[in-house]
Amino acid sequence: MPRFAYTARDRAGQTVAADLEAPSRKDALRLLSARGFLVSSVTELAAGAPGKKGAAKTAKRSPAEARIARRASAVVPGKKECLAFLEALYDLMTSGLSAGEAVRLLSVRIKEPRLRSLCGGLWERISEGAPLSRAMAEFPQVFDPSITNLIQAGEATGSLNETVQRLIAHLTEQRELRRELLTALAYPLFMVVVAGGVILFFLFFLLPRLQSLLTSLGGKMPTSTKLLIGLSEFAIHYGVFVLIAAVLGGISFWRWRVSAAGRATTDAWLLKLPLIGPFVVSQTVLAFSQTLSVLLENGITAAEALRMTEKQIGNLVHRAAFNVATARVLEGEALSVALTRTGCFPDLVIDRLSVGENTGNVVPSLKQVAVAYQKLISNQLSLFTKVISSGVLMMVFVFVGFIAFAMVSAIFNVSASFKMGG
């Protein structure tokens, strides 16, 4: 009978490494599950060549993994499925089901194709003995490492339900912030499109007809009218080339922006802009406080939590500064002192964090900072929307006013020339 080497955790949380006999790998997994073990790995051992044959077998893709790969190639789940899966998982676990049974039920009941594909892939791995965290780690396009590490900590401490609940709250806050940002930008974008349409209508349709009318009537046109007509003729003859150049320039800039050097340079530029700079700082503080509080609250060590939090900071300038601060913390310096040296975090945030460190309440302090900055970001988005909308409206009014002035001036000149001729 084949022998299988396994690594697992027993009911007390201790790591066990041993081997057992079983007809197949699945039978070995069933035996270990019956003993109450949380299996990490199972490898078949070949007689006379321990480890080699098992390694060869584990390197081959099992039929279950092949089915998952075929399914994933047809329907690939993404980041959007993360929160939906955790919400559905939490609902079933609070009803009394284990995590494995909840995933199995979801793989059967879920109708949405991407979420069903995700649950099916997770269940295939869990049914072979993998814990939920390791199954989730095999879907990096859906679950961030910070999420899988939190789930692993919840499994180890027996607080999986509470961990999933905190993750849902954290991801919901992030989703609402993104939705608020998109909603805030929708109205200014609409105003820009409408204003651009009005300007193009004047330049391409109205002005050429007015020009032909004024030319037929004769008379000398004022400078403002000549300027307006010249702008219209330039737009008609060269507008396509200007548009193509703008598109090519935008594509080139975006390709440079996504490169490492371009991202670092543009992120530094953003911090110097009047309205956008403070908003980027607020986003950094919010990402830092939300992520670090959730990680520390769920039992992740300070070193791992800081490294995971660093990856959640979007601005590369702030991320590099936080990396330096993390290194100082790992050397024994207080987090508040290390963040002060970066110069990226507001003084009030540093003060709150320092108080939390002194009183042993770092997590509550971080949560207070997160709540305060979530409100601050909402206010900044509202201000940003008003400024953009007002600026676009002002530009439209100025342009329309200039057109009206140019047309009225031309009409007066034409009328004066008729009187002089009479």
Sequence spans of domains, the chain: 3-59, 63-143, 160-422
Q: Do 330 and 303 contact (CB within 8 A), yes or no?
A: yes
The answer to whether the CB of 344 falls within 8 A of the CB of 322 is: yes
CATH fold of 160-422: Receptor-associated Protein (1.20.81)
Q: How far apart are CA 267 and CA 246, in angstroms?
A: 22
> What are the pLDDT tens digits along the chain (422 aa)?
678 888 877 766 677 788 887 777 777 776 776 666 777 777 877 654 444 333 333 334 444 444 544 444 456 788 888 999 999 999 998 888 888 888 988 988 888 888 888 998 898 888 877 889 888 988 888 888 878 888 887 887 777 888 888 889 888 887 887 887 788 778 778 877 887 787 778 777 777 777 777 666 665 677 877 887 788 788 788 888 988 999 999 999 999 988 888 988 999 999 988 888 998 999 899 888 888 888 888 777 888 888 888 888 888 999 999 999 989 988 888 888 998 988 888 888 899 889 988 888 888 999 889 889 888 988 888 888 788 778 877 887 887 788 778 777 777 777 766 555 55
Token pair recorded at residue 65: 């993994």
Q: Which helix (H) or strand (E) holds 22?
A: none
CA distance 44 to 63: 16
Distance CA 400, CA 406 (A): 10
Burial of residue 337, with CB atoms counted within 10 A of its CB: 0-12 exposed, 13-18 middle, 19 or more buried: middle
Bridge partners of residue 23, in order along the sequence: none
HEC secondary structure over 295-363: HHHCCCCHHHHHHHHHHHCCCHHHHHHHHHHHHHHHCCCCHHHHHHHHCCCCHHHHHHHHHHHHHCCHH
CA distance 175 to 177: 5
